Amino acid sequence: MSLIHLSYNRYWVYLIDNNGCSGRDTVDITALVPTSEEVCYVEFDTLTWKNNVNWTINLPSNADSVRIYKEVSLNVWNLIGTVSQTDSNFIDVASNPQAQSYSYKIAVVDTCGNESVKSSPYTTITLLSTYDIGTDTYGFTWSAYGGLTVSDYYLYGLTSGGTATLIGTVPGNLYMYNYVNPLPVYVKYYVAFETPDCNAKTNILVKSNWVQSVVTGIDNNVIVDFNIFPNPANDKIEISTKKSEFEIQILNLIGQVLIKEKNKKTIDIHALPAGSYFVKVGTGVTEYQQKIIIY
C-alpha cells in the first residue's frame, strides 16, 4: 500500500493485494481543532503590579490547557505561558504596566495536543499624569483599551488607607481628564471601566496602572512634626523635626525623584535649576509634603 500526500488534508491511497489486483482512491483526513475562546479582560494587578490576563472558566470539556501569547513586535506573538484548563487567569511577571501597554491573545489546547485559533488581541491601558503648579491642575492621559468596547472611563483617587473615590467620568472615545484643585488625600490615581459579565461576575472594574500623586498631603488628624525652610530657597533647605528616622525626597512637577536622603536635616539643593519642586518627608507611617521654590 502506498500513501501519497496530495494537499493540506487530502491523500491518495494505492493498494495491491496478494493476487496482483490494484486499486486507488483519495482520502480526506480532517483534524478537529479545539473551539477558540476569547479573553475576558486584561488588567493591572494591584498586588504584583503586573498585568493579569483573565478568561472564562467554561472551557470545552476536552480542553487540556490554555496558552498565553504576548505581542513582542508588530504582529509577532510569543508564547509566554501555559496553564491548566482549571485556571482562568495568568499574571505576566515580565510586564511593566507603569511604562507601556501590552497586547495579549490566548489559545486552547485539547487533550490530543491540538491548538485552537488564537483569540482577538486585548490591549491594556497605560495611564500618565502631569501636574501644573500654576493652575493647581492634574492632567491625566491614557491609551485606549483594546479588545472590548468601552462606554465610559472612570478616574479614581486612592487614599493611603486604600479607599477609592470616583473623581470624574469621560466617554469611551476620550482619553484625558483635567482634575482641578486636587485633594491632597489621594496618594495614587487610576483609570477603570466596566466589563461585560465574565465567570458569573458582573460590574468588574478593569483597572489601569497606578500613578503616584505629587501633591499628597496627610490626614488632618495627624500632627505634623516637620517644617521645611527657607522657602523660597537657594542652596540648601533645612528639615526641622524631632523625629530621628525619616526619609526626604525632592521631586519635580512630573513626579521624578531628584534627591533622596535619609535622616538628614540639611539638604544641598544648589545643583537643582530654578523652579518649583515638592519636598516629601515620611516616616513610613505618616508623610508630609510641601511645595518649595528654588531661585
Domains, the chain:
1-30 (no CATH), 39-123 (2.60.40.10), 131-212 (2.60.40.10), 226-294 (2.60.40.10)
Q: Which residues pair with 53 in a beta bridge?
A: 42, 90
Which three-class secondary structure state does DSSP give residue 246? coil
Position 219 scores a pLDDT of 41
pLDDT tens-place string over residues 208-258: 999 988 765 444 334 446 788 888 888 999 988 888 888 898 888 766 789
Asked if residue 125 lies in contact with residue 103, where contact means CB atoms within 8 angstroms, the answer is: no
Position 225 scores a pLDDT of 64
Please give the C-alpha separations between residue 80 and each of 49, 112, 138, 275, 277, in angstroms, as whole numbers. 18, 21, 36, 45, 41
At 163, give phi and psi (nearest 5°).
Answer: -85, 125
Per-residue pLDDT of the chain (295 residues; tens, 9 = 90+): 554 544 445 666 667 767 767 777 776 655 566 778 889 999 999 888 999 999 988 888 888 999 999 999 999 999 999 999 899 899 999 999 988 999 999 999 999 899 999 999 999 999 999 888 778 889 999 999 999 999 999 999 998 778 899 999 999 999 999 999 888 888 899 999 988 777 655 567 899 999 988 765 444 334 446 788 888 888 999 988 888 888 898 888 766 789 999 999 999 999 999 888 888 887 766 667 777 888 8
pLDDT tens-place string over residues 180-192: 988 888 889 999 9
Position 220 scores a pLDDT of 38
Which three-class secondary structure state does DSSP give residue 266? strand
Q: Which residue has the cell 496553564?
A: 83
The model's pTM is 0.64
